[in-house]
Chain A
């Protein structure tokens, strides 16, 4: 996959009201490739999961920065990277298991990663304790006429 045909980057503080901002920003940016409604819903849901994780888990007791990058490639593959400089994940394989959560209080289901995996084509998680976490999501959307 060569160079992106379009890309954007936005940095925002880890406030829960920005979960909505992140979803709407991604869907607004992607409007130029005119994705199908259900594909866009999948992408918005996955973005919401990753951003919420930065807010809830990455920065549990402080407000930190979240970076959201979106790239679109010639073949209409969308690649989204969501990263924080928060506490990091100790054991990524365990964290990604369905129903695993370190915060069962506040009704966490432990299904965020399961949702990202089932709604996107690819997911890659990089994390370092005390340094932060980066989640890269990829999905090929149906090629339609570009606006």
Chain B
């Protein structure tokens, strides 16, 4: 459970793992925002392939990251949505805020950093 961050230059990919609810979103949000700041991110990719449950706290998480990326004049991409998560996203019309893609590939670079943060849940 938690967030796995992979950064390539100014692209930050956050793979969310486990249930996203009000309890777990708090820590996920912190981890993502630190990674965005530290890498001076211009693109944030949120990978939902490992998400097992999500309620409106997940929508809030996405909307909040959209604001963060707007302030940085960057872009938010949402990727690998499981079917049931797609349904929750639909209620919020998230497609108007973020680019939704089936899959993505991180740009290859020499200096790559992989950091794994476990959240308590």
Contact = CB atoms under 8 A, between A and B. Distances in A.
Chain B CB within 10 A, most for which of A38, A48, A106, A109:
A109
A111 B60 CA distance: 9
A38 B54 CA distance: 13
Interface residues on B, range: 20 to 34
Given A17-B121, A115-B56, A109 B22 contact: no
Contacts of B121: 17, 20
Interface residues of A, number: 23
Nearest to A41: B84
B64 A107 contact: yes
Contact of A20 (B23, B29, B83): B23
Interface in B92-120: 92
A23 B19 CA distance: 11
A49 B29 CA distance: 19
A115 B60 CA distance: 13
Interface string A88-111: 000000000000000000111101
A109 B57 CA distance: 7
Nearest to A108: B60
B84 A19 contact: no
A19 B22 contact: yes
A63 interface: no
B60 A49 contact: no
Given A20-B21, A52-B21, A111 B64 contact: no
Closest A-B pairs by Cβ, 8 of them: A107-B64, A107-B60, A16-B23, A109-B60, A48-B55, A109-B59, A111-B56, A52-B22
15 contacts: A16-B22, A16-B23, A17-B121, A19-B21, A20-B19, A20-B121, A38-B83, A52-B22, A56-B22, A107-B60, A107-B63, A109-B59, A114-B56, A115-B55, A115-B56
Interface of B: 19, 21-23, 25-26, 29, 53-57, 59-61, 63-64, 83-84, 87-88, 91-92, 121
Interface of A: 16-17, 19-20, 23, 38, 41, 44-45, 48-49, 52, 55-56, 106-109, 111-112, 114-115, 118
